Structure 1
Amino acid sequence: MSAQQAGLRLHPGIIASVIFVSLAAVVAAVLIIRKYCFPVNEATYRYSVLRRMEDQSSAVTEEDGDRGPCTVEEESDEDLLE
């Protein structure tokens, strides 16, 4: 019995390659699903950029003691969304 069991052992390289290929397949599947099932909406992306710019400008005015409106000419939200 022990001679038959010794002949049926798997090589550690085979086990490692199966694990590696399985993990690579899972990663590829996740990336493909994210790309094609959850597309990035351009309007949502633009809105997030505008919110980030607004947060940065409000942080700058708070640091300056809120001396009034900024003198730098800014683009309107409508121009950025186009």
Structure 2
Amino acid sequence: MKRFQIYLEDSQVKKLETLSERLSVSKADIIREGIDLVVIQKSAEIKDPLLNLIGICDKREGPKDSALRHDKYLYGKKSRK
């Protein structure tokens, strides 16, 4: 574990101290848990366009021979034999 120093607003310090006392856990534990929660939340908000491809082929639409004749469907050309 690495040491990290941060600045907090007075109101944040009061909330942190109150929560620490009520839960009987250290302020550091609360901060670590809070960081984990924010990282999870923000990571879920980040949209990766590649993730939109997941499941796109499950719809069973389109040509049945796309693996064999992909050049025709991609470029409009006849495939070489």
What's the TM-score, normalizing by structure 1? 0.31
Give the structure-2-normalised TM-score. 0.31
Q: Which has the higher contact order (CA 8 A, sep 6+)?
A: 1
Higher percent of residues as helix: 1
